[in-house]
Amino acid sequence: MNKGIFVITAVSAFVLCACDSSDKPQTGQVSIAISDAPMSGVNEVGMVLDQLVVRNKKGEQLKFDLQNKEFNLLQYRGMESNRVLNQVELKVGQYTDAHITVKQGDGNQGAYVDNGLGRHGLEVEAGQLPLRDFQVKGGQHLQMTMEVNLHQALTQTQDRFQLRHRGMWSVDNAEMGHLRGDVDAQWIADCETDYAASETDGEFGHLAYLYPAEVTEISQMSDIAPEALEAYTLPISVGPVFQDQQGMWHFTMGYLPAGNYRVGYTCLGHLDDPEVDDISTGDFSMFKDAGEVVVEAGTHGGHLNKMDCQG
């Protein structure tokens, strides 16, 4: 798929809360919210949620009606969220095979993408958004977040859009943090100069790529692809690099498991087709290794970590 200026990611976060109850210590409550980040070239990414489905330790499948909750992912950015399920009680115990079913789109009803040229049906892989297994403990408050990175997950073939499970993950909110990176404006200028012939319709795709700590140099940083080439590592997350009103460039990535990572930057994100290896078959390349970063959760989770990408 040639994404053109369709280069800025959206990241979606589903938050589960199992809240303690003093009069019912053997149950918890589950709530789900969603948050997102903007995406250029796309006006709306509409979701229509059908059910929350989980399986208890007895193997019984439990379903909770979401009443075809419809919303535009792009309206909920960063740490803002839209609660779609509120205070559903669950007994204490382990829950597996958790997922949210989605109404598949045909362009008229169900999930959809509006790219400014019309409203197109959105097909979600397996018709569901997968969540990690989780445990509800008596008297404790569990919060879990599922992220959907649209730059990794959303693909297009002609007028057909698909949302794949890659680029989605879940994390306990007590064990995650957010990351903000400030990018050297000289990197932006140098990249655009070096790759002036690679712009599309006067636009570059300024993106930050997040990799596991095992990546130690730029030559190991893969683009988004179905599989990594030998000696390369696929990114965990991808975030758009914005210029604010003061002329400063920065990116934000949310709901990252606490740990060590490495960040890469390029202005060639518009050449990164998630369905293709663009390093060996295309013109994509990583421009700068921004170095290591430690993401800390903080006392209660959700700590905002900051890094400077320069030098």
State the pLDDT at residue 16. Answer: 58
Question: Do residues 263 and 286 touch, judged by C-beta distance below 8 A?
Answer: no
d(CA 64, CA 266): 43
Question: Do residues 255 and 178 touch, judged by C-beta distance below 8 A?
Answer: yes
d(CA 114, CA 122): 10
Q: Is the pLDDT of residue 134 over 50?
A: yes
State the pLDDT at residue 6. Answer: 35
Q: Where are the beta strands (DSSP E) in 92-214?
A: 93-102, 112-114, 119-124, 128-130, 134-136, 142-149, 154-157, 160-163, 168-172, 176-183, 207-212
Weakest-pLDDT range from 1-15, 52-66, 74-88, 118-132: 1-15
Helix (H, G, I), strand (E, B) or coil at 47: strand
Question: Do residues 234 and 222 touch, judged by C-beta distance below 8 A?
Answer: yes
Give the CA count within 13 Å in the CB-facing half-sphere of 265: 28
**Phi, psi dihedral angles at 309 (to 5 degrees):** -105, 95
d(CA 283, CA 26): 57
State the pLDDT at residue 14. Answer: 60
State the pLDDT at residue 309. Answer: 97
For residue 74, give both structure tokens: 């792009």
pLDDT tens by residue, 45-72:
999 999 999 999 999 999 999 999 999 8
Average pLDDT on 148-170 reads 87
Looking at the domain that runs over 178-309, which CATH code has it been given?
2.60.40
Weakest-pLDDT range from 22-26, 89-93, 269-273: 22-26
Contacts of 101 (CB under 8 A, 6+ apart): 49, 50, 51, 53, 127, 128
Give the CA count within 13 Å in the CB-facing half-sphere of 292: 7
Give the angle subtended at the CA of 236 by the CAs of 84 and 43, to the nearest 5°. Answer: 50
Q: Is the pLDDT of residue 121 over 50?
A: yes
Edge-to-edge, what's the strand order for the sheet holding 82-91?
A: 82-91, 27-35, 11-18, 142-149, 168-172
d(CA 294, CA 129): 28
d(CA 53, CA 2): 35
Counting residues of the chain whose pLDDT is more than 90, the rounded percentage is 61
**Phi, psi dihedral angles at 204 (to 5 degrees):** -115, 155
pLDDT tens by residue, 183-202:
999 999 999 999 999 988 88
Helix (H, G, I), strand (E, B) or coil at 144: strand
Rg (CA), the chain: 20
pLDDT tens by residue, 230-265:
999 999 999 999 999 999 999 999 889 999 999 999
pTM here?
A: 0.89
**Average pLDDT value for the chain:** 87
State the pLDDT at residue 241. Answer: 95
pLDDT tens by residue, 151-160:
888 888 877 8
Q: Domain boundaries in the chain?
A: 11-166, 178-309
